[in-house]
């Protein structure tokens, strides 16, 4: 039977609330995910929270009942609490029906099978959690093999990034590494490195993309360093016909990913 916690001063509530802080996530190697849709998609991929918080008004929902049963069957714990406490856990005034605590995900470069997909996404020093989450959603949509984060990127397990991913965090493998280890790994096998750049005249639709294609998106404000651009097999540019000089990083990644997908599907 789920236990009930209604006091915000409860140590477990305080501990879970602290997972909104990057330092606490790093120490515990756990993170928060909120929302019935995201947690249900996680369950469908075989990922279950170790702790599930839900409010009594939501307990009768069939998907909430399924989550409670699955968590308890996996030796996790389901905890009934109040909407106010759920709001404090998620940091939103309109709390979701459920909040879960998950073990941190992630794989290493050596665990990747580069031939598992024709498209891989690579982001360098990405700073905005909304962009990261949206890029994960794009990766899921195009069947990307994974998202490789280079350098000091925003934490993919922050509440904001998890929320923006809409569940894709659980379907797209994530690797966090540095530039040189990534480049060394990439050159050990097949893989075309394609950089999105403003410093080229090559139209993105004119280039040919051989599987596996690794799409490199640079920092939102600065783009990619010159040495990264030099290491790319191809630099391409999305034409800008208005006054803006570039697209949002996540939007540009999506445009590129679908062009690669279209070519590889023939």
Quote the percentage of the chain above a pLDDT of 90. Answer: 83
**How many domains does the chain contain in total?**
2
Do 132 and 44 belong to one domain? no
**Helix, strand or coil for residue 176?**
strand
Residue 197 sits in a domain whose CATH number is 3.40.1280.10
Q: Which of 66, 87, 103 is the last residue of a domain?
A: 103
On whether both 63 and 121 belong to a single domain, the answer is no
What average pLDDT does this structure show over 93-105?
87
Average pLDDT for the chain = 93
What pLDDT is stored for residue 1 in this prediction? Answer: 61
- Which pLDDT does position 56 carry in this prediction? 84
Nearest to 56 by CA among 78, 32, 31, 89: 78
What order do you get walking across the sheet with 30-34 strand by strand? Answer: 3-4, 77-81, 51-55, 98-103, 30-34
**18-70 per-position pLDDT tens digit:** 999 999 999 999 999 999 999 999 999 999 999 999 988 888 899 999 999 99
Same domain, residue pair 120 and 89: no
Residue 246 has pLDDT above 80, yes or no: no
80, 103, 126 - which closes a domain: 103
Per-residue confidence band for 221, with pLDDT thresholds at 50, 70 and 90: confident
Run of H or E including 30? strand 30-34
Q: Could you tell me the pLDDT band of residue 3, with boundaries at 50, 70 and 90?
A: confident
Given 70, 103, 136, which residue is the final one in a domain? Answer: 103
The pLDDT of residue 266 is above 90: no
Residue 108 pLDDT > 80: yes
Domain holding 45, by residue range, is 3-103
Mean pLDDT for 242-258 is 90
* Residues 164 and 246 reside in one and the same domain: yes
Query: Is 246 found in the same domain as 123?
Result: yes
């Amino acid at each position: 039977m789920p236990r009930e916690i209604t006091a915000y001063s409860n140590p477990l509530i305080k501990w879970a609330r602290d997972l909104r802080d990057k330092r606490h996530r790093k120490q515990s190697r756990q993170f928060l995910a909120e929302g019935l849709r995201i947690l249900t998609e996680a369950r469908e991929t075989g990922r279950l929270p170790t702790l599930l918080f839900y409010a009594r008004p939501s307990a009768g929902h069939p998907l909430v009942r399924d989550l409670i049963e699955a968590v308890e069957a996996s030796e996790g714990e389901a905890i009934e609490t109040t909407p106010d406490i759920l709001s404090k856990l998620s940091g939103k005034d309109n709390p979701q029906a459920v909040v879960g605590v998950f073990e941190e995900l992630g794989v290493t470069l050596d665990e990747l099978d580069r031939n598992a997909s024709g498209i891989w996404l690579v982001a360098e020093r990405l700073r905005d959690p909304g962009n990261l989450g949206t890029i994960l959603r794009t990766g899921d949509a195009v069947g990307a093999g994974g998202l490789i984060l280079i350098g000091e990127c925003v934490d993919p397990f922050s509440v904001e990034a998890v929320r923006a991913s809409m569940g894709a965090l659980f379907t797209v493998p994530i690797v966090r590494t540095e530039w040189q280890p990534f480049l060394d790994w990439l050159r050990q096998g097949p893989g075309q490195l394609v950089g999105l750049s403003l410093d080229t005249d090559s139209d993105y639709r004119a280039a040919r993309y051989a599987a596996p294609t690794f799409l490199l998106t640079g920092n939102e404000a600065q783009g990619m360093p010159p040495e990264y651009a030099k290491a790319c097999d191809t630099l391409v540019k999305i034409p800008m016909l208005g006054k803006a000089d570039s697209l949002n990083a996540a939007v540009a990644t999506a445009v590129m990913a679908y062009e690669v997908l279209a070519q590889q599907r023939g």
